[in-house]
Amino acid sequence: MYKLFTHNDLDGVSCGIVARLAFGDKVDVRYNSVMGLDHQVERFLESDKKHKDVHMLITDLSVNEKNAKGLNDYVKEGGKVDLIDHHKTAIHLNDYSWGHVTVEYEDGRLASATSLLYEFLVEKDLLKPSGALEEYVELVRQYDIWEWEKNENIKAKQLNDLFFMVSLDEFEEKMVARLQDADHFEYDDFEEKLLEMEEDKIERYIRRKKRELVQTFIGDYCTGIVHAESYHSELGSELGKEHSHLDYITILNMGGRKISFRTIHDNVDVSAVAGQFGGGGHAKAAGCSMNEESYELYVKAAFTIEPLRQDFTKNHYNIKNSVDGSLYVNREEEDFFIYEKKHHQWVVERNGQALSSVFPSFEEAERYIKRNYSAWLTRDEHFVDYLKKYVSNDKKREA
């Protein structure tokens, strides 16, 4: 008999699916949150100690110091345990005979728990490799370690969408049945339709959230803050790309009292931001529970800020990086005119007065006014009025 403790996200549940394919009803699968595992392991060590016929597998999660010692003692007494993980923070468990932690394969690809468990079971002849299963495992791996975005592997993202549309048990059951004896992994027509609808729904949701984003400085970082309960990955990436002058995106979930941080920039580490408030995570995606301090900064102080406006995109004349200059405005109805005075010398005029800083590129000038004045590219009509006003002023000056 096998007992599998695994994570409750797509990678973790796919470990459950792989284990089910290998062991059928001879495995008892438990899905846990990151916080929940240690409690489960503790209970197992206390109660099931004598059941030496149980082979324990832990995937996509790691145990604390106390449980690591407990498991090690259990193994010394003849218990069977294998912990298979791919998180950097679990590397030290490789010191134990039962710890199998691989972050990166020899060819440089990042591992996922599912890919590691799959290979582990195939190597031990406990699972028969198949085309469909191999494809499925690769989709999970690409999704879990964010490789799908770079590869534009939509099928991997869709797998995660589907995962969230049905219950854990239903997903497990569906996938086990599908992977059992197929050459390729495919979605059926109904799922394709569902995924299409989901895509539309996410698009509408993001469009709405774009109009609610507020901008502020917290510490040295300029962040965009939005309230949202769902689609954090999609939101973080869309808002981050659209407002690339923001260092990171903050997503507030008031009901769950949680804060998520996302960034698209390599020079920003949001796990450090989350760490200041007792949270953690990865460099590009992290989070924390909401405490008094983070509430004051991200919720209360941001409440009175007006949402950020998007650049006007339907212009013919007022366009970015143009030889005629580009005009921006802000909520205070100030004008910001960016133009190239000399080669690599970009000037910003604020209400007709040049700022003292000069910028080496259009992008840097724009970034400066977006970060410091929350300005957006204004519409053509205003641009034409602005040019008329200042061109006629120049003429008066000449006369």
Summarize as ranges the residues that interact with Mn ion (CB under 5 A).
11, 60, 113, 144
Residue type, position 253, single letter: N
Is the separation of the CB atoms in 260 and 248 below 8 Å? no
Choose between 90 and 113: whose C-beta lies nearer to Mn ion. Answer: 113
CA distance 341 to 325: 10
Q: Please state the closest distance from residue 84 (CB atom) to Mn ion, in A.
A: 10
CA distance 287 to 391: 51
Choose between 60 and 161: whose C-beta lies nearer to Mn ion. Answer: 60
Choose between 60 and 247: whose C-beta lies nearer to Mn ion. Answer: 60
Is the separation of the CB atoms in 1 and 28 below 8 Å? yes
Choose between 110 and 182: whose C-beta lies nearer to Mn ion. Answer: 110
Q: Please state the closest distance from residue 60 (CB atom) to Mn ion, in A.
A: 4
CA distance 57 to 24: 15
Element (H, E) at 173: helix 168-179
Q: Please state the closest distance from residue 260 (CB atom) to Mn ion, in A.
A: 17
Q: Provide the b/e sequence for 129-146 (b: ≥16 CB within 10 Å).
A: ebebbbbbbbbbbbbbbe
List strands edge to edge, sheet with 221-227: 214-218, 221-227, 248-253, 258-262, 285-289, 280-281
Tell me which residue has its CB nearest to Mn ion: 11
Q: Tokens 């941080």 map to which residue?
A: 261
Choose between 113 and 369: whose C-beta lies nearer to Mn ion. Answer: 113
CA distance 385 to 367: 24
Choose between 72 and 271: whose C-beta lies nearer to Mn ion. Answer: 271
CA distance 33 to 12: 10
Q: 3-state DSSP call for residue 121? A: helix
Distance, CA of 219 to chain centre? 22
Is the separation of the CB atoms in 187 and 194 below 8 Å? no
Q: Please state the closest distance from residue 228 (CB atom) to Mn ion, in A.
A: 23
Q: Please state the closest distance from residue 16 (CB atom) to Mn ion, in A.
A: 13
Q: Please state the closest distance from residue 150 (CB atom) to Mn ion, in A.
A: 17
Residue 12, both tokens = 């973790």
- For 57, 89, 92, 141, 279, the CA distances from 103, given in Å and listed in that order, are 18, 10, 12, 12, 22
Q: Please state the closest distance from residue 18 (CB atom) to Mn ion, in A.
A: 13
Q: Please state the closest distance from residue 6 (CB atom) to Mn ion, in A.
A: 9
Choose between 113 and 264: whose C-beta lies nearer to Mn ion. Answer: 113
Q: ∠ CA(203), CA(206), CA(209), 5° rounding?
A: 155
Choose between 60 and 238: whose C-beta lies nearer to Mn ion. Answer: 60
Choose between 113 and 252: whose C-beta lies nearer to Mn ion. Answer: 113
Element (H, E) at 107: none
Q: Please state the closest distance from residue 308 (CB atom) to Mn ion, in A.
A: 33
